[in-house]
Structure 1
Amino acid sequence: MNKKELFKKLIKIIDKNNIPYALVGRTECYPENIGSDIDIIIPRSEIKTFKQVIWQIEDNQTKIVQMLQHEIVAFYYVLFHFDNGDIVSIQPDVCTDYYRKGRKLLSADYLLEGRKDAVQGGFHVLTPEKEFIYYLLKKVDKRNLSEEQYEHIRTSYLINKDKALLEAKEFWKGENLLVIQKSMDENNFLLLHNNLRKLQQGIHSSHSRKTTDILKNIALKIKRILNPTGYIITVLGPDGSGKTTVMEQFKKDIKPAFRRLQQFHLFPKPHKGATKVVEDPHGQKKRNLILSLLKLIYLLYIYIGGHLRYVLPMKIKSTLTIFDRYYDDILVDPIRYRNDTPCWIVRFIRCFIPKPELWVILDCPTEVIQARKAEVTPAETERQRQAYLSLAKSKKNCIVLNTNRDVKEISYELCLFICKSLNERSIKRYK
């Protein structure tokens, strides 16, 4: 199944359940070429129904992995389809009344009046003047407008100038309205682009926030904190097991499931510049017992502080956080970390280290690892392999991946595993 077929399946479910809707934005290439988000407007009275029937899209290969509520009445879904090594995803962004930062700008019922069939058929769109005002408001309030987006706005405007200007008068007066009209009539992209800030201020002055909407927006933020939509994984394995190669492919494949991606090396602290490459991991002597203990305490401080300052806020903001190595590496390879404390002390401190939601252990035959990176002896590589596999058995939320195969196959397996976990989380929260 490709994006086109997955999109048609979604529209069929909406039509089957008699939910009035319209797609908004640059849909002229649909369904042959679908971009990142599929923006859909439905009546406010139908949102409860939609949140129930969208689960009908699921089957053994198609799963809802995320539902991010980014406005009072706006719900961003992420759907993944897995089929024999191929990964397909679409992101329906469903809203009712159009809100921006808790400020109601347009009602869904008004926008959907007179909706029509798209030129290419198969789905509904707004009338040109309503598409004009919706997309213009969206771009102005984000203060983000490309020339291609401007052309879409202007095309909608030119179909019926008089009606489009009537829509604009609800939000702008005087000089601001003239800027919009002149820009559209004269095909002057820079005139509109250079006045985005003033036009945004015009929206805010003409449409103030209501107290009830402010309270609902606060409640939404609290809900995000209590139910974060990000995810944290840690990737472990001997040098040469393929961490860098696998993660680069994996990040490309899993990216649609999250708003952002963030990667840390060893502990949650941003690195300035490139990470230093360790060419001889066993080349330095161990610290003495006291210094080793102080180093572990320092690492505990770094992990707790870093999670509070960086990781948890990113998790609330729908970020996939990836750790390349983690505190547990000290148990596997104490020489690398110059640690001379007994294992029981390392394990005791580990009890207070924040845990990821998934441990990923990369493994492959010793001779393969040695061919990739012969930084330690074959015997030491084999010892580390067995130590990581033993570590994996001690953890419930862990997956072991054989990296002696095509990297796309490895990434596919990891994406499938994580998406099943995200799907289970979504079912508990939303279904």
Structure 2
Amino acid sequence: MDATALARHLPPSSETRRSPTPPASEPPRSGPRLGVGRFDLLTRRAAETPGLISFAGGLPAPGEFPRTKLAGSFVRALQAPSCPALQYGWPEGDEDLRSWIAGQLRRRGASVARDDIIVTSGAQQAVSLAAQMVRGPHARIGVDPESYPGALDLFRSLGMGLVDDGSHVDAYYLMPALPNPRGRRLSAHERAKVLSTLRPVIEDDAYADLCFDGAAPRPLLAEAPDRVFHVGTFSKTLCPGLRVGWLVPPRALRADVLKLKQAADLQAASLPQAILEDYLRNEDFDQRLVRLREFYARRAARMEQALRRYLPRWKFEPPAGGFAIWVEPDAEPNEAFFLAAAIEHGVAFDPGSLFRASGAVRPFALRLCFSSVSRDEDLDEGVRRLSRCWSEVA
């Protein structure tokens, strides 16, 4: 079957229609996992609610997946002589793919070579490998007051102490270019302060290419390559289903990281790497990023407008990029109760406690994702539903 024939079996791409509304929860890498612990029943209820508009999950827009082009790359990968896409590969990953990643980082000011890159099974594995390298007895890792829940859970599972108050730490986990969930980049003063501590830093760059004002900024890796573990991914800019991320560890630790990687899974899957390498070789990825920034910026502006119209007393800071808006309402209802009530009104969101190291429910906050709703009009309707629910509950 050639690429054209295969494409006929695919759902229409973003050029012809939008995908349906995604489920209320998401895979671990992409955002908070509502389907665990105290929110499990609420998540299941949301997923089963007909017509529910989900602002939860932090998923990329399905309508923006380049399905037909990826289908072509899939076919070409399988037609290559000796078909390396279906064979074992090296633990560090495909050479051409690593060269491409290194080139992108050099454009941002980092002195990186192909052999500095380790391709991982998604960025979550990259964070895990880095955390294992900085972990020690009673290790304390500094995190933002609100941070990516998948990383927080990972650090807890490794027995690391989470510190969000600026006190002494042994390492940092940060998203300097574009933090999740607030979407407010690290200031020059904050960057300098972190680097001045001389502590190791896990730099999660997941959203860096989705800054609304242009290309990704200079990474911390460029300033301190001897102690920064740089994490990247294609999940936000292409699609999460390929599960391709990367890690740039300090060169002195690369061999040790590679041993951990090999022990974990031998290698990142060959087929997704081959598909991705072919796609990047044949498509203008920079132009794709321009389109995505415009698309998500338009979505963010639409949600901001709806919040100002229907919930004018709710406080928020317009995000600098990414998928979501962090909102702080003007009252303090029970978090789980309000989520349950919102689901009854046909809308879901991510509770703020999931993003906090302590799990604190106060001050009351929520993350509203504008990225994956099926239509722009659903942003307005979803906020209207939240407003009606708020008037009853608060």
Same fold (TM over 0.5): no
**Shorter-normalised TM range:** under 0.3
Whichever structure has more helix as a proportion of its residues is: 1
Greater gyration radius: 1
TM-score by length of 1: 0.23
Bigger relative contact order, structure 1 or 2 (CA pairs below 8 A, ≥6 apart): 2
